[in-house]
């Protein structure tokens, strides 16, 4: 399939936020826009909502990196989980 380039103008903060969102759901902007265009053509409407998985948020990734670093430095501690 032949590929073409599409240029759009978008608010710089919106672009930054959209790039971050795409990163959080594991794709780039080109993939996200291509998915959108394919779905629009198939359904002939604005068809869907995509939401970010909070697991991949930058805040959670920082927390996981910190926990991993602590585990590597200390050898870790095992805790039992209780349902209180």
- The two tokens of residue 70 are 């602590």
Q: How does pLDDT run along the chain (84 residues), one tens digit per residue?
A: 899 999 999 999 999 999 999 999 999 999 999 999 999 999 998 887 778 888 888 898 899 898 888 888 887 766 666 665
Nearest-angstrom CA–CA distance, 14 and 20: 10
Q: Considering all CA atoms of the chain, what is the largest pairwise distance in Å, rounded to the nearest integer?
A: 59
């Amino acid at each position: 399939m032949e590929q073409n380039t599409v240029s759009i103008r978008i608010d710089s903060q919106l672009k930054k936020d959209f790039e971050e969102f795409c990163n959080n759901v594991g794709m780039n902007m080109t993939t996200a826009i291509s998915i959108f265009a394919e779905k629009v053509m198939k359904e002939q409407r604005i068809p869907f909502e995509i939401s970010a998985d909070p697991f991949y948020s930058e805040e959670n990734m920082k927390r996981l990196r910190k926990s991993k670093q602590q585990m590597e430095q200390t050898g870790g501690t095992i805790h039992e989980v209780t349902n209180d």
